[in-house]
Amino acid sequence: MPATAEVLAEVPLFADLDPADLALLAERVDVVTIEEGETLFDYADPGDWMGIVLRGAVEMTVKTKTGESVFLELAERGDFFGEISLLDGGSRTAKASCCKTGEMIVVDRGDLDELLRMKPAAAMPLLKATGKRLRANAQLLRNTAAKNSYEVAEEQQNIIQRAADWVANFSGSLTFLIIHIIGFSIYIALNVGWFDFGNFDPFPFGLLTMAVSLEAIILSTLLLYSSNRQTARDRVRSDIEYDVNLKAELQIQHLHEKIDQIHAQILGRLDALDPKRRPPGAASVPQDMSG
């Protein structure tokens, strides 16, 4: 249905327009209903319009090379989306889905030209939104970089797990061995009758044997617990390595596609500059002459 000047006046992008300009623009743009779960446009779709949310909400997402859907932005009342493709004439760079039923204003390229003619300052909010998108994309690139598997495992640790790892590391050190040798030597010397004091645990040192047995049980349990956690860390590292290898493989494939496109464009331009370069009816892409 056609948009009214009163509806446009509620949108920040059009708020400063004169009533006459609002009435003129209202005759050009449309207000459409959007339903929850509806896909307004998808990645790589033609970008010949942008939307301005009047009611409801629109979620912007992008899918990574590994198939993960990453949230970009939530457009709510007064926010606009899809302006990048409208400005540069390219295809969509993200997916827009309605997550709350409402209404939106549809602005096509002709409507945008008319708006900028009536109000050149309206280009500033568009540029600001574009800069916001670029910042979001930069943040997305930083967050999708390969992670350190040990850092990921550390983030998932609790106090007990940290204590178990510390005990496991310390029990395998020379410091642990030296402390026990010195402690046992002092304990035995005090209980063999060399001094007038001591002798609280005479040979065969039953109390020492019990303490060492308890220590062995506790240490073996903590070592096994830490070993199980090491297996979990190795699994995390394997998952991260798989993701990295998959991303590298997909990026290489994407580069091959880009090179093929560039090669085809160069050959097309050469054919356009010199139609006699190849015989009539020959394929636009020459055969492989490497052999």
Give per-residue pLDDT as tens, 79-108: 888 877 777 777 887 889 999 999 998 888
Inside any domain, residue 192: yes
Inside any domain, residue 288: no
Residue finishing a domain among 123, 143, 163: 143
Domain tally, the chain: 2
Tell me: do 117 and 177 sit in the same domain: no
Tell me: do 183 and 223 sit in the same domain: yes
Q: What is the mean pLDDT of residues 175-193?
A: 86
DSSP E strand stretches across the chain: 30-34, 39-41, 49-63, 69-75, 80-81, 95-108
CA distances from 247 to 148, 155, 253 (A): 16, 23, 10
| CA dist., res. 244 & res. 246, Å (int) | 5
**Chain centre distance of CA 204:** 64
Write the DSSP string, 214-269.
HHHHHHHHHHHHHHHHHHHHHHHHHHHHHHHHHHHHHHHHHHHHHHHHHHHHHHHH
Per-residue pLDDT tens over the stretch 141-151: 555 555 555 56
Structure tokens given for 38: 């509806």
Q: What integer pLDDT is reported at residue 58 of this predicted model?
A: 93
CA distances from 77 to 40, 99, 103, 278 (A): 16, 13, 9, 58
> Is there a contact between 53 and 10 (Cβ–Cβ < 8 Å)?
no
Tell me: do 68 and 105 sit in the same domain: yes
Tell me: do 103 and 157 sit in the same domain: no
Inside any domain, residue 94: yes
Tell me: do 130 and 255 sit in the same domain: no
Three-class DSSP category at 219 = helix
Count of residues making up the chain: 291
> Is there a contact between 65 and 255 (Cβ–Cβ < 8 Å)?
no
For the ranges 58-67, 97-106, 254-263, the one whose mean pLDDT is highest:
97-106
Tell me: do 56 and 33 sit in the same domain: yes
In degrees, rounded to 5, the angle at the alpha carbon of residue 114 between the alpha carbons of residues 112 and 115 is 65
Q: Comparing C-alpha atoms, which of 10, 12, 7, 11 is closest to residue 30? A: 7
What is the distance in angstroms between the CA of the first residue and the CA of the last residue of the chain? Answer: 63
Inside any domain, residue 280: no
Tell me: do 30 and 61 sit in the same domain: yes
Tell me: do 35 and 156 sit in the same domain: no
Long-range contacts of 260-266, Cβ-Cβ distance < 8 Å, separation of 24 or more? none
Tell me: do 212 and 132 sit in the same domain: no
> Is there a contact between 229 and 156 (Cβ–Cβ < 8 Å)?
no
Tell me: do 30 and 75 sit in the same domain: yes
More confident residue, 65 or 69: 69
Inside any domain, residue 13: yes
CATH of the domain at 124: 2.60.120.10
Q: What integer pLDDT is reported at residue 258 of this predicted model?
A: 72
Tell me: do 135 and 36 sit in the same domain: yes
Confidence of residue 72 (pLDDT cuts 50, 70, 90): confident
Residue finishing a domain among 118, 143, 168: 143
Residue finishing a domain among 126, 143, 160: 143
Phi-psi map region of 78: left, alpha, beta (phi>0 left; psi -120 to 50 alpha): left
Inside any domain, residue 83: yes
More confident residue, 273 or 159: 159
Inside any domain, residue 252: yes
| CA dist., res. 103 & res. 9, Å (int) | 15
> Is there a contact between 95 and 39 (Cβ–Cβ < 8 Å)?
yes
**Chain centre distance of CA 280:** 50
More confident residue, 98 or 191: 98
Tell me: do 199 and 182 sit in the same domain: yes
- With the C-alpha atoms ordered 139, 144, 150, 155, is the resulting torsion angle positive or negative? positive
Domain extent, residue 129, equals 5-143
| CA dist., res. 37 & res. 71, Å (int) | 15
User: Does residue 126 register a pLDDT over 50?
Assistant: yes
Inside any domain, residue 285: no
Q: Comparing C-alpha atoms, which of 114, 126, 127 is closest to residue 22? A: 114
pTM of the model: 0.46
